[in-house]
Amino acid sequence: MNEISRLVREAGVAGEGGAGFPSHVKYSSPARLLVINGAECEPLLGTDQYIMAHFAGRLVTAALSIQEALGAEKVIFAVKDHYREQIASLKTAIAGKANVALCLLESVYPAGDEQVLLYEAAGVRVPPGGIPPDSGAVVSNAGTLLAVADALEGKALTHKYLTVSGAVAHPLVLRAPIGTGFSECIEQAGGVKTSRPLIISGGPLMGRPIDTEDLDSQTVTKTTSGIIVLEEGHYLDLRRRVTPLHMKNRAHASCIQCSQCSDLCPRRLLGSPLRPHLVMRAFGSSRNMDELLETQAAKNALLCCECGICEMYACPMELQPCRINALIKEEYRQRGMKPDFSPGEEPSPAWPYRRIPSERMAARAGLSPYYGLGIGGFLDMEDVRRVSIPLKMHAGVPALPCVETGEKVEAGSLIADIPQGKLGARIHASISGRVRALADRILIEAERSDA
Same domain? For 378 and 391 the reply is: no
Is residue 438 included in any domain, yes or no?
Answer: yes
Same domain? For 90 and 132 the reply is: yes
Residue 204, preceding peptide bond in cis (omega within 30° of 0): no
Expressed as residue numbers, the domain containing 329 is 244-355
Asked if residue 326 lies in contact with residue 320, where contact means CB atoms within 8 angstroms, the answer is no
Same domain? For 351 and 284 the reply is: yes
Same domain? For 72 and 103 the reply is: yes
Pick from 355, 374, 399: which residue ends a domain? 355
Q: Which pTM value belongs to this model? A: 0.94
Same domain? For 253 and 390 the reply is: no
Phi (first) and psi of residue 101, to 5 degrees:
-125, 155
Asked if residue 409 lies in contact with residue 436, where contact means CB atoms within 8 angstroms, the answer is no
Residue 28, Cβ density class (10 Å: 0-12 exposed, 13-18 middle, ≥19 buried): middle
Round to whole Å and give the CA distance between 181 and 404: 22
The per-residue pLDDT string of the chain (451 residues; one tens digit each, 9 = 90 and over) reads: 799 999 999 999 999 977 899 999 999 999 999 999 999 889 999 999 999 999 999 999 999 999 999 999 999 999 999 999 999 999 999 999 989 999 999 999 999 999 999 999 999 999 999 999 999 999 999 999 999 999 999 999 999 999 999 999 999 999 999 999 999 999 999 999 988 999 999 999 999 999 877 888 899 999 999 999 999 999 999 988 899 999 999 999 999 999 999 999 999 999 999 999 999 999 999 999 999 999 999 999 999 999 999 999 999 999 999 999 999 999 999 999 988 887 788 999 999 999 999 999 999 999 999 987 777 799 999 899 999 999 999 999 999 999 999 999 999 999 999 999 999 999 999 999 999 999 999 999 998 764 4
Same domain? For 19 and 127 the reply is: yes
Is residue 273 included in any domain, yes or no?
Answer: yes
Round to whole Å and give the CA distance between 371 and 43: 7
Same domain? For 257 and 145 the reply is: no
Same domain? For 323 and 376 the reply is: no
Same domain? For 84 and 143 the reply is: yes
Is residue 361 included in any domain, yes or no?
Answer: no
Tell me how far CA of residue 225 lies from CA of 82, 127, 135, 318, in angstroms.
Answer: 21, 27, 27, 28
The structural domain count of the chain equals 4
CATH of the domain at 408: 2.40.50
Same domain? For 15 and 147 the reply is: yes
Is residue 407 included in any domain, yes or no?
Answer: yes
